[in-house]
Amino acid sequence: MAKVTEKVADKAKKTVSKAKTAVKSAAKKTTKKSGKDKVVLAYSGGLDTTVIIPWLKENYDYDVIAVCIDVGQGDNWKAIKNRALKTGASACYVVDARKEYIEEYIWPALKANAIYEDEYLLGTSTARPLIGKILVEYARQEGAVAICHGATGKGNDQVRFELAIKAFAPDLKCIAAWRDDKWNMDSREAEIKYLEDRGLEVPMKKDQSYSRDENIWHLSHEGLELEKTENEPNYKHMLKNTVVPEEAPANGEYVKIEFEKGIPVAVNGKKMDALKLLTELNKIGGRNGIGLVDICENRCVGMKSRGVYETPGGAILYAAHRMMNHLTLDRDTYHYKQQLSVKIGELIYDGKVFTTLYDSLMAFVDKSEETCTGWVKLKLIKGAIRGAGSGSKYSLYNESIASFTTGDLYNHKDAEGFITLFGLPLRVRAMMEQSVGEGQAVLKSKKLKKRPTE
């Protein structure tokens, strides 16, 4: 066994060594006239990554290739690309990954009913693995020797990015600026000063320095008053996509969602592609104050953090999808899926999407969703979601059985034998307790209270 293990280890080392040689070879072919190695930077145009471009040039002898990945941030990518080049990037690429993000990352999470710690709909978590994968694709194309990201050393994103990179490119160097010994900025204020000292554009206002992550699925907010759990969030100052529920229309509105095998395909009778559908639901949910969450969650790195999330369209879809599952799944399958939903939510949150376990659990989810076809109607009113009817040709609801009227498929007397067998373990235990004079079933059991009789 030891020899086999050694052979496997040697083979792995040789594989990684060959990969590194191939990367160096590709890097030589694509290196600019400067002769420098290349680093691919995950560039959002925000404060952290804007600072990182000059920081990389000052502290590492690399050409910086900025890669912007559009997962629905709604940013001005032309301006962001120009900012990257003005700040010192050798090149900047913008990738429209919105459709890919929704169809290959959001829809699977929705089909699984995956939620982290009961409330968080995994907005940032679902996007990071895709971003990491695209970074690797550009690193390979450019012959880069490293990938850099701006995630902090306290957050989840550093884990999610780097697990994705390891899954596809274990040979590439990963530079995490906030963990680097050469990084001497410890706050967003310090980053702002860093740019100002160099005469570079600061991409945010000081009074709006929430740490935000936005995509087509959600918008997250951290920092400022949220860093003290005693404070109520300043929603009017903070929210961008959702109205404060108190200010939503008094009468609310109805929305009808149609599903095919667990995937939403139409809103209010109109067939739409994934991008248009989610955009429409975000508008509907946003104007009705839907999808606000204030949670102090457990990060995968072992600390708690507080965040406010806006997920208007996502909250609508999760509510509708659960109603479809209630209608089309049998009891055993639904209850087992509830357990898997928690685990899948954890895997997504922790960045473990490119794993055998995730693929295996999603195979179960895909099977369970084969009959999740039909429609759900919801009433949205001042931040609340209420069911307003549902239907499916695969519905397991049978009015003849469910009705209080005795029908051919169910006789009320049938329940007597069922209860006798279902409760047999309880009856046997109680009989034993009475025979030995101990336990809750004895005649003068302390668990039975004496009630007034007048």
Active site (catalytic) residues: 48, 128, 157, 211
d(CA 28, CA 427): 79
Query: What phi, psi does 68 have (nearest 5°)?
Result: -100, 130
User: What type of residue sits at position 98?
Assistant: R
274, containing H or E segment:
helix 274-287
418: tokens are 């069922």
Say which residue the tokens 């996509």 belong to. Answer: 241
Cα angle, residue 443 at apex, residues 442 and 446 outer, rounded to 5°: 75
Helices (H), 214-273: 235-238
- Identify whether the C-beta of residue 281 lies closer than 8 Å to the C-beta of residue 255: yes
The answer to whether the Cα torsion of 365, 103, 105, 164 is positive or negative is: positive
Compute and round to an integer the Cα radius of gyration of the chain: 28
Centroid of chain to Cα 18? 35
C-alpha distance from residue 453 to each of 48, 262, 450 (Å): 72, 55, 9
440: tokens are 């809750």
> Residue 378: helix, strand or coil by DSSP?
strand
110: tokens are 């929705």
